[in-house]
Amino acid sequence: MQPREPAHHVSPRAVAYWTLRAVPFWILVLAGELFWLWSSRDRTGVQFAVLSLTVLFAAVHLIVMPRWRYRVHRWEVTATAVYTQSGWLTQERRIAPISRVQTVDTERGPLEQLFSLANVTVTTASAAGPLRIHGLDRATAEGVVSELTEVTSHSQGDAT
Amino acid sequence: MLLVHPVRELGQFLPALVGLVLAGRAMGNGQLWWLGPLGVVGVITLSVLRWVTTRYRITSEQVQLRTGLLQRKTISTPADRVRSVHVTASALHRLLGLAKVEIGTGSHEAGSGLSLDSLRVVEAAGLRAELLHRSAVASSDTPGTVAFRAAPAAGAATSGEHEIALDHDTALDHDTELARMDPRWVRFAPFTMSGVLGAVAIFGIGSRLFDQLGVSAGDVGPIRGGLSYFEQNPIWLDVIQGVAVLVVFVTVLSIGGYALSYWGFRLTRHPHGSLHITRGLLTTRATSIEERRLRGVELAEPLLLRAVHAARLSGIATGLKPRAGADGGSSMLLPPAPRAVAHELAAQILRDPAPVDVALIAHGPAARRRRFTRALLAALVLILAAGVAISSGVSQWLALPAVLTVPAAAMLAADRYHSLGHAIAGGYLVTRAGSLYRRRDVLECDGIIGWNVRQSFFQQRAGLATLTATTAAGRQRYAVSDVPLSLAMSLASRALPGLVDDFLLPDNPVREPFDSD
């Protein structure tokens, strides 16, 4: 009994967004190492090895991670349930019945606005199970929210 | 009661008052001596004012608490949102015949619950019955408005403003008793962590006290005597005596703690559908939980308790958060007691023995491999660390404990795998995990409001997943760890029919679960 993947991909623009979001971390690491190189008097091969390894890791991470994420991140809303899949190395699928949905929020950070993306967060009465769909197209996100709001307004009972 | 607030607040402000007295002495060559008494009078005045300005009120729709002199604050809670009621009475409260009522509303925000301090004991009991059975008794005999306030000084308690309805008092007599503390259970106290924690706390406070007072512990007569006695002995004798003293100390502390918290423990079921727990030697506590809010139980068997065939039981309820600590927390249903008693009580509470006694389904060879890999990797890290330490000059004897971590890790892994299991029985999802702290969670399937299926990179390679049932009760999440993915999906589908079925691949034949261990 294997689970299938949710039906919809997120927006392809999310790839660029995830790449850009990961850049500051690597810049910080590289800046630290360059400072180390610059401040030490005798420059050994170790420092250059560490520096080049960092550049290599950064490149691999920035190229692989967003594309891997894009393949994993998926979502689906059916008449009875919300189903999401996210992550890359560690992957997580979340399923919540529509009848137990309490709130539906969208949220757009500054960087996401640049790519006109939006996040949708669906919460239930459990503190453990908010479903988040990252990197949705703005129009799609609004569609999802209005659809969910419409459906959940008819259901009742949140099992508290 | 007029006395409780001033006494408690004087206690709370004690450090500040001591500071005031000291400051009064130090500054102005003793002319500011009145600073200290002024502080005491100020605190007493403020707490009396607080008592005067606090009003409680219960209507058929809501519970209201109004406090504050300058900044008026009104907290109100719809009466049908009341999930649990605690009645606590400290030694001071009991001396004065008073109690404190805390009302839980199921919200997880801090300060959202109501706390009514210093009600008379009869009022508190009546209020508890009133609040809990309001929904059950419904409109029939609920008074429209009941207004009252903290009882004024005993004897003069007839100001006409506190007429609390006590009509449900008679109904309280029909409680059926499910469990009662047996004094012999105290023998399990040394096998809990409470004694160790108590010893650590006393040691910490003691050393802080010495530190603050500027005295070295060696200056105190008895301690100095003890230290010089130890100095005269050979080291091995010191170690044996030290361990013996520590064991006795921890045992005494834990037994004292157990008696303080759980003495007179009694769990009863009220015919209107609620459980009542009363306990405590000096501070008495009474907790009431509505049974329809109870979504299951947790049976905890930490390693030491497991060794003496004992277990603890707590409830999974909405409106009650499991709190850690020696006190057991508000969702406690049974203090450390014989395992058979815990099983029987759980069966009575759930009205079904199956979920607590059912044989669990093991998670298979991949999960066992993962237990061993993780434990042995941790042992390897410790050995490497010991190796580094030895090469940098630490005693070579460190190698012995380092090597011994390997068999210890293997035993831990074997036990962790043995504990791991799950089942569905009688409409409950049952999951068990852990070795040092083994817990069997029994969660009502109707209380599950979603699934999280998580796979780390290594779990994906091993074909395993961690299935988490999310719920509004208790810990909010109850996980079935390292179960084969196909088994996880079939489990989710059986626990909550219809929800995950849309999201399964059609063709794959259903694999049979592994045999139970």
The dihedral built from the CA positions of residue A60, A61, A62 and A63, taken in this order, carries a sign that is: positive
Residue B163 pLDDT exceeds 50: no
| pLDDT on residue B322 | 46
Contact flag B476-A128 (C-beta cutoff 8 Å): yes
Q: What is the pLDDT of residue A160?
A: 54
**B470 contacts in chain A (CB < 8 Å):** 96, 124, 126, 128-129
More confident residue, B118 or B353: B353
A126:B510 CB<8 A: no
Tens digit of each residue's pLDDT (9 = 90 or more) over A4-53: 999 999 999 999 999 999 999 999 999 998 888 888 777 777 888 888 99
Q: Do B453 and A129 lie within an 8 Å CB cutoff?
A: no
Give ipTM to 2 decimals.
0.90
- Token pair belonging to B33: 């001596």
User: pLDDT: is B188 or B136 the higher one?
Assistant: B188
Average pLDDT over residues B43-67: 78
Task: Say if CB A81 and CB B448 are below 8 A apart.
Answer: no
Query: Is residue B516 scored above 60 in pLDDT?
Result: no
CB contact under 8 A, B477 and A91: no
With an 8 Å Cβ cutoff, are A159 and B486 in contact? no
Domain that holds residue A56: 8-70
pLDDT score recorded for residue A134: 92
Q: What is the pLDDT confidence band of residue B77, given thresholds at 50, 70 and 90?
A: confident
Residue A86 sits in the same domain as residue A148? yes
For residue B263, is pLDDT > 50?
Answer: yes
Secondary structure (H, E, C), B416-434: HHHHCEEEEECCEEEEEEC
Residue B257: pLDDT over 60: yes
Is B150 strand, coil or helix? coil
Other residues' Cβ atoms within 10 Å of the Cβ of residue B93: 24
Q: Which of B194-203, B267-276, B414-423, B494-503 has the lowest mean pLDDT?
A: B194-203
Domain residues of chain B, as ranges?
4-51, 54-174, 365-503
pLDDT band at A155 (very low <50, low <70, confident <90, very high): low
Mapped onto helix, strand or coil, the DSSP state of residue A158 is coil
Examine residue A158 and state whether it is found in any structural domain, yes or no.
Answer: no
pLDDT-based confidence at B484, cuts 50/70/90?
Answer: very high
Residue B138: pLDDT over 70: no
Same domain, A148 and A107: yes
Length of chain B: 517
Taking the model in full, what pTM does it have?
0.77
Same domain, residue pair A81 and A138: yes
A38 and A100 part of one domain: no
- Shortest distance between the Cα of A38 and any Cα of chain B, in A, equals 30
Which of B446, B470, B487 is opposite residue A126, by nearest beta carbon?
B470
Residues A23 and A49 in one domain: yes
For the ranges B70-74, B143-147, B338-342, the one whose mean pLDDT is highest: B338-342
| A79 and A20 together in one domain | no
**For B83, nearest residue in chain A (alpha carbons):** A160
Asked if residue B340 has pLDDT above 90, the reply is yes
Q: Are residues A91 and A147 in the same domain?
A: yes
- Per CB-CB distance under 8 Å, the chain A contacts of B452 are 92-94, 128-129
Maximum CA extent, chain A: 72
Contact B470 A90 (CB under 8 A): no
Q: Is A2 part of a structural domain of the chain?
A: no
Worst-scoring range by mean pLDDT, B87-101, B133-147, B202-216, B333-347?
B133-147
- Say yes or no to pLDDT of B116 above 70: yes
Based on the structure, what is the number of domains in chain A? 2
Across B125-150, b (16+ Cβ under 10 Å) vs e yields bbbbbbbbbbebbeeeebeeebebbb
Distance CA B405, CA B385 (A): 12
CATH number of the domain residue A90 falls in: 2.30.29.30
- Whether the CB of B84 is below 8 Å from some CB of chain A: the reply is no
Per-residue pLDDT band at B113 (split at 50, 70, 90):
low
Q: Is residue A1 part of a domain?
A: no
Most confident of B170-184, B215-229, B365-379: B365-379
- Nearest CA distance, B99 vs chain A (angstrom): 29
Please name the member of A4, A92, A96 whose beta carbon is closest to the beta carbon of B449. A96
Residue B134 binned pLDDT confidence (cut-offs 50, 70, 90): low
